[in-house]
Structure 1
């Protein structure tokens, strides 16, 4: 369990909800870099919200935005590929035995690199079209669906085995390049 409180909104515009999680990821990344912070708690909170967020986007947000023609199949698939890369970086981070090693610092740096790339790209190519092309009511409905799946995953909790299974599934699905 973690000492971090992960926000659990009950409603909202899906764009605003996703952006709030993006800011939370950035806050938790700062704590993961800070040797005076409770890095272990930050790591656990980061893993939980990151997986819950990604799974909710893939299950509810991307398919609905495709149906609304706000994004195309390539943008949805690219988002899923980036989630797979993030999950692989998360697995490397979770596999670190402690939080006071060079291996941990390197894993944090690698995670930050793939995460920042994804956040920037998603905000530009997925969230902007959602703002422009999806009605306020549909964004609110999508926000509720996103929060339901996100909440379910947060309730279940996330451990290294779940992240390993997500990475293995992504490899089977061809979402990860064989760069490692």
Structure 2
């Protein structure tokens, strides 16, 4: 039995965020593989990470703050971890040789930062959202998340210049 695209399509913000997290894990595997197009995987990862985090911060986190059973400290912590992820991403983007030891070191720093954030977010914010936010509202947030994410991707948000700008603005 095959599933139709409609059967797998969702606008539930929790599911959309989880889908991005799983794609990031796939891209990490590609970036670790010496036979893969590491630079291409990094380019896709960079765009996805920045678009994902920006969409969460602009559309999802502000809405979650309004729910009394969603911990505001978890939201603030997630924003802080996005900045850490951007810093680790920038360090990897600045490595010129994808076959170097420096690449491997900076990649592992990025993997650690992003996986730590994704794990915490899944256990705290996303579980809170599942339990406390109505399905219709999660669908509305999902649509807003997808739109903001698409706008970021269309604007080349993962470029080295943009990641540098994001890191600089978060440290000011």
Q: TM-score range by the shorter chain?
A: over 0.9
Tell me what 1:55 maps to.
Answer: 54
Check whether the contact 2:70–2:132 (CA below 8 A) recurs between aligned residues: no
Measured against aligned partners, the alpha-carbon deviations of 1:145-178 in whole angstroms (never above 9, x if no partner) come to: 0001000000011211110111111112xxxxxx
- Mapping 1:4-15, distance limit 5 Å: 12-15=11-14
Tell me what 1:35 maps to.
Answer: 34
Describe the shift of the 1:145–1:11 C-alpha distance in structure 2 as closer, same or farther (beyond 3 A): farther
When the two structures are aligned, how many residues end up with a matched partner?
A: 164
* Misfit runs of 4+, over 4 Å: none
Q: Is 1:170 paired with 2:160?
A: no
Q: Is 1:161 paired with 2:130?
A: no
Structure 1, unmatched stretches of 5+, are 1-8, 173-180
CA distance in 2, matches of 1:86, 1:155: 21
CA distance in 2, matches of 1:140, 1:52: 19
Instruction: Say which SS state the counterpart of residue 98 (structure 1) adopts.
Output: coil
Check whether the contact 1:15–1:139 (CA below 8 A) recurs between aligned residues: yes
TM-score of the pair, normalised by structure 1: 0.88
CA distance in 2, matches of 1:138, 1:52: 21
Tell me what 1:79 maps to.
Answer: 78
TM-score of the pair, normalised by structure 2: 0.92
Structure 2, unmatched stretches of 5+, are 1-7
Tell me what 2:3 maps to.
Answer: none
More helix by share: 2
Check whether the contact 1:10–1:147 (CA below 8 A) recurs between aligned residues: no
Tell me what 1:128 maps to.
Answer: 127
Aligned CA RMSD, in angstroms, stands at: 1.3
